[in-house]
Structure formats: structure tokens, C-alpha cells
Amino acid sequence: MGLPTIGDIARLELGEFKQRMRREFRKQSDIQAEYYWQIANGKDSSPVVSSIRGALKSISHGKALRSSLYGRLEDIEVVLLELVVEVCRRARRHGYQGRVVSVGAVETDGEKASSFGRQMTLQQPTSLTHEIAQAARKLFIEHWKGMPISRLFISLTQLSDDSVYQLTLFEDRNAAYAIERATDHIKDRYGSDAIMRASSLLEAGVARERAGQIGGHFK
């Protein structure tokens, strides 16, 4: 169309630009022509918003595993807990707690594979590791067919603000949250492997290896 730069569009009258666009793309190009011309002249009527990101709907974490190494429940439980730890840490970082815990897994016998995904609604929202871990373990054991696991997945949904949370008669949840947040602070300052569960030191643990990676690749 003889318009090699944005400036060439901006210098045209809108009517002339529409005519040129019509010759190339017919009459239905009028709306697009006006949009191009307005933008070329630095005009944008879109409303200014502080952020285009909406509220979080879920917080999740998953891990692909070598199925040959994860056929025993005691080994799978190590990774399951590590995933829960990370999900709860992310939830607290963003100021959320969740009421629905979901567990997903892919299991295989080497020839065929199957998967499951199940969820549980808790009595009250939480981002405490031991509460989420208890629910996740129960879900996994109830629905696992016993084959080696090649992928494990945890998510927390039905999120709410964690500035207010339910107290109980038989557990000091204030103290539990204080411990969790102190642990978060240490990890944020010194790295994810600065403090971790003793089970992560077992051969089945993947948290130490993951801490030495960026985006799933070694630094």
C-alpha cells in the first residue's frame, strides 16, 4: 500500500487510510483501519487498570517421576509431602488458604498407564502443611491402584484470604502458622533447601534436586 512505516499511516487522513484499506480488504476493513490509524497516532481509549491478572483460582504443584523408582507407598509419600509443602508455601506467599484439596496421579506397569484425580473438601480453609498433607495422603491411598507412579500432582482450590482463619479447641493453629511462616522466611532468604523435612533427605526425595534447578533445569 506504499506505507512502509507507522509514521506513514499516522500522517494520512483517516478517510484516505480507510479508502486504501478498502481497496485491499474491502469495506469490512473500516473498523480495523480506524484501529490502526488511532494506534499509529498514539490514541488508545482502553481503560487503564492496575493489573490484568485476576484473583488466583488455584495453587498447584506437580512432578514427573521415574516410575521404576516410585512403586512403593513409602517412597511416593515422600514426594507427596514435598508437593504439599510447596503448595502451602505458595498459598501463604500470596495470602491465601484453601478448602478443597485435589490429588492427581499417573500410574503405569510399564505397558499400560492409567490416571486418577480426586478432591476432598476440608472442614475449614487452611494452608497448614500437616492439614493438607493428611487429606492428600488419604485421597492418594484410597484411589491408587498400586502401580508405579510416573506423575504426581497436588492442588488447592476454593481459595480465601488467610488474614482470618478458624481456631480450634484442641490445636494451637496460631502457633502452627507462626512456625510455617518462620520456615517460609528462612527459605525466602537463604533458598528452598535451607530448611526442609527430614524425609526429603531420603533417596526418594526430589526437593533438594529441585532446589538446585531453575525452571526444571540445573543452574
- Helix, strand, or coil here: 150? strand
pLDDT at 214 exceeding the cut of 50: no
- Mean pLDDT within 69-92: 96
pLDDT at 79 exceeding the cut of 50: yes
Q: What's the pLDDT band for 218 if we cut at 50, 70, 90?
A: very low
Distance CA 123, CA 16 (A): 66
- Helix, strand, or coil here: 136? helix
Distance CA 107, CA 76 (A): 11
pTM here is 0.72
- Mean pLDDT within 51-65: 82
pLDDT at 33 exceeding the cut of 60: yes
Distance CA 14, CA 69 (A): 67
- Mean pLDDT within 38-66: 81
Structural domains in the chain, CATH included, are 6-40 (no CATH), 58-218 (3.30.1490.100)
What is the rounded average pLDDT for all residues in the chain?
A: 88
Please write the tens of the pLDDT for every residue from 135-176: 999 999 999 999 999 999 999 999 999 888 888 878 899 999
